A and B are shown apart, each in its own frame.
Chain A
């Protein structure tokens, strides 16, 4: 069964460093998303991406964040200068889109980002 994959599973970085989190969405999906979950809090939407551009972003997704689909399979989230409060689980998701049943989003296993 197709699944969303994410690498690395755990990333430790120092404050101020750049990190890139990688995702491979399900191959025929057209919509891609990043969410995060700070420990003990809700899963929060960060950004959605469709047709090679950002379609929506949250207030969290400031200028320190960027997303890219560098090729036909990968979808990346870059944090340019990490802060302590960026420590969280980051989930990538994808959906097929097109009709109501295809808006179900399928999530990857997550990358735990720890900023020290």
Chain B
């Protein structure tokens, strides 16, 4: 089966600019996650969708970050405006079904550098 697809792989922008990331999960996977991975740290959950509904966005900085999952398939994560501390790898993951016992399947991420 095809894995989780993310684009772009790399993005360099200046602070205060906006940026968007795209994710296509594994076909049929109901749950989609966006994580932020800062260098030297583990992934931190930003937002979790079940189908096209938000399950958890408690750690999403909502003043600058937004995410949507239209039609319960693809998802986009946007940052506007970007800050220096947003430099990180943004990982998208998906899992089959909605149970917490399901392992997550990760894309290769988008590496964001803020100048």
On whether the two chains bind one another, the answer is no
Interface positions of B (Cβ within 8 A of A): none
